[in-house]
Structure 1
Amino acid sequence: MYSINDATAAQPDVIALIDELDRYQRALYPAESNHLLDLAALPAQKLILRKIRHTEGATVGCGAVVLNGDGSGEMKRVFIDPRHRGQRLGEILIAALEQEAAARFCHTLRLETGIRQLAAVKLYERCGYQTCRAFAPYVDDPLSIFMEKTLIADLRFAMQ
């Protein structure tokens, strides 16, 4: 059994997962194609961060949304421990992040992932994300795939 919990970027279990993700991405891409955002440097009101815990106590996944203040957000740092993949934990985590983002009036989520992370691309596609053009602060990069999903088509409906 697993649970999804609020998290902070200063928690040692979250730091350990992000370090593992960083090592993985550094092995796949050159430094200029790695967009490794330090979540701890962000103001708390701009960040949604969740972690997945196994009933035995281990933290096995994490993910974040950075809210941009214009009604959009960026999905960052989504990672599931390889030993716990194949159980749809990514979909559950993304749904939890999307739900909280929509509750904070975020109408669109975007993300950048790499071309060598085919499992991640398939995960995002299963969750309804579609490819799009590079968005700020990114520029076109042949090693990047940019995706987006509309969470709330009309914000007036979110306030009801």
Structure 2
Amino acid sequence: MDIKVGELRHEAVISLLQEHHEDMLAHSPPESVHALDLSALEHPDVTFWSLWVNQDLAGIGAIKELDKDHCEIKSMRTATKFLRKGIARKILEHIVEQATLRSYKRLSLETGTVDAFIPAQKLYQQFGFQTCVPFGNYQEDPYSMFMSKAIK
């Protein structure tokens, strides 16, 4: 396994980001989908990682800096071929490690509320994330669950 910074313009990454966005739209109305598009992921306040197994893209994830103490997980997605093989766990471990190394004090995320998001919710809970009120520019939304954890 190899985790790389960037690779946003790689064909496999673009395809997985499109799949991610389409899947979000399949489970939530457009106004409740908060997935970042490619240009937003290239913004300087975002760090994007891609995880590769040999030459195959296995998963992606990013953090967006909200302020000097707080960052948000964005674009967590595992490629279908690699589901239930520990890829999401590996990406999340890397993100938590990077947030810690960058001295953030809080790591937060927004995920969906319908059944399709239960595996993600459980993974985040295993890492110590707890439900919280909307943060940043988010508003209460029946399709959104907000989670956060303090970083030591």
Tell me the equivalent position of 1:7.
6
CA distance in 1, matches of 2:11, 2:106: 30
Alignment counterpart, residue 101 of structure 1, candidates 87, 99, 102: 99
8 Å CA contact 1:75, 1:110 repeated in 2 = yes
8 Å CA contact 2:66, 2:136 repeated in 1 = no
Which sections of structure 1, spanning at least 5 residues, go unmatched?
A: 153-160
Alignment counterpart, residue 59 of structure 1, candidates 37, 57, 60: 57
CA distance in 2, matches of 1:81, 1:17: 7
Q: 1:91 to 1:66 in 2, by over 3 A?
A: same
Q: Match for 2:126: what amino acid?
A: R
CA distance in 1, matches of 2:85, 2:27: 24
TM-score, structure 2 normalization: 0.90
CA distance in 2, matches of 1:11, 1:107: 32
Superposition pairs of residues 142-157 of structure 1, within 5 angstroms? 142-152=142-152
Q: Match for 1:102: what amino acid?
A: T
Tell me the equivalent position of 1:112.
110
Tell me the equivalent position of 1:35.
34
Which sections of structure 2, spanning at least 5 residues, go unmatched?
A: none
Q: Secondary structure at the match of 1:98?
A: helix
Residue 8 (structure 1) shift: 4.1
Q: Match for 1:111: what amino acid?
A: L
Residue 9 (structure 1) shift: 3.0
Residue 6 (structure 1) shift: 1.6
Q: Percent identity of the aligned residues?
A: 28
Residue 39 (structure 1) shift: 4.8
Q: Secondary structure at the match of 1:51?
A: strand
TM-score, structure 1 normalization: 0.86
Alignment counterpart, residue 80 of structure 2, candidates 79, 82, 85: 82
CA distance in 2, matches of 1:3, 1:50: 10
Give CA-to-partner distance per residue, 1:87-139, whole Å, 9 cap, x none.
22111111111111221121111100001211111111112111111112100
Cα RMSD after superposing both structures = 1.5
Q: Match for 1:20: what amino acid?
A: E
Tell me the equivalent position of 1:138.
138
Residue 81 (structure 1) shift: 1.2
